Amino acid sequence: AQTVTQSQPEMSVQEAETVTLSCTYDTSENNYYLFWYKQPPSRQMILVIRQEAYKQQNATENRFSVNFQKAAKSFSLKISDSQLGDTAMYFCAFGIQGAQKLVFGQGTRLTINP
Amino acid sequence: DVKVTQSSRYLVKRTGEKVFLECVQDMDHENMFWYRQDPGLGLRLIYFSYDVKMKEKGDIPEGYSVSREKKERFSLILESASTNQTSMYLCASSLLVPGKLFFGSGTQLSVL
């Protein structure tokens, strides 16, 4: 069975700083996808970034980037120039190619302070 | 804009009641999901459906059932609500698998 672990329950940084959220996963599969989802106080979960395991290049979306280390089964999210609107719960998720379900981590509550 | 709508934002029910949580999506997605969100546990999959009238158990299906009579609607049913089912329930849909999930705003259910 696949598992996803987020070891940082809470993090807090100052506005404009860079912050990195950690995620590790366990799988014996070779073809899979990894995701970071954001849940702001409004509760509407939205996709932040997605990484295909077969791609060596790390995914980037504006201020959000990932550090994907396949051998170490690590998938961290870096937020650069953090903004107040980045305050949210962040969930790491894993999905096997061809399978419907995603497995989520426990979440990290990120607070950006003014 | 893509939309997943959950019928209630907050719901309070009594132990033993039958509870229906409704979810509607307007994107013509094949796949729909019900997750439960609890602090420290993240999101856990209850049930999912990949087509009308088709359903599959997720990781924690006990005490729940689902119904998908139309493509756009996926209902979660608590046959006899219990206090340990107090939680946030999130509905989601996706076109591809495993693909981008589109979530509703969640239903915070309290069972007293």
pLDDT tens-digit map of B51-102: 998 999 999 999 999 999 999 999 999 999 999 999 999 999 998 777 789 9
What is d(CA B73, CA B4) in angstroms, rounded to the nearest whole number?
10
- Chains A, B: CB contacts under 8 A, how many? 58
**pLDDT score of A24:** 97
pLDDT (tens digit per residue) in A24-83: 999 999 899 999 999 999 888 999 999 999 988 999 999 999 999 999 999 999 999 999
Chain B residues with CB-CB distance to A44 below 8 A: 103-105
Q: How far is CA A43 from CA A98, B22, B33, in A?
A: 28, 17, 16
Decide if B6 contacts B21 (C-beta within 8 A): yes
- Label the pairing between strands A88-96 and A19-21: unpaired
**pLDDT score of A97:** 83
**pLDDT score of B79:** 94
Tell me whether residue A4 is exposed, middle or buried, using C-beta atoms within 10 angstroms of its C-beta: 0 to 12, 13 to 18, 19 or more: buried
Decide if A34 contacts A25 (C-beta within 8 A): yes
Whether A47 sits inside 8 A of B101 (CB atoms) is yes
Whether A104 sits inside 8 A of B48 (CB atoms) is no
- The tokens describing A104, both together, are 């989520």
HSE-up of residue A53 (Cα within 13 Å, Cβ side): 20
Q: Which of A33, A47, A91 sits opposite B43 (nearest CB)?
A: A91
Q: Phi first, then psi: what are they for A53, rounded to 5°?
A: -65, -25
Chain A residues with CB-CB distance to B45 below 8 A: 101-103
What is d(CA A26, CA A4) in angstroms, rounded to the nearest whole number?
7
Whether B90 sits inside 8 A of A45 (CB atoms) is yes
- Label the pairing between strands B31-38 and B87-94: antiparallel
**pLDDT score of B9:** 93
Q: Which of A6, A32, A101 sits opposite B58 (nearest CB)?
A: A101
Total Cβ atoms within 10 A of residue A36: 25
What is d(CA A97, CA A52) in angstroms, rounded to the nearest whole number?
9
Whether A101 sits inside 8 A of B33 (CB atoms) is yes
């809470």: which residue's tokens? A10
Q: How far is CA B77 from CA B19, B23, B70, B82, B89, in A?
A: 6, 11, 16, 12, 11
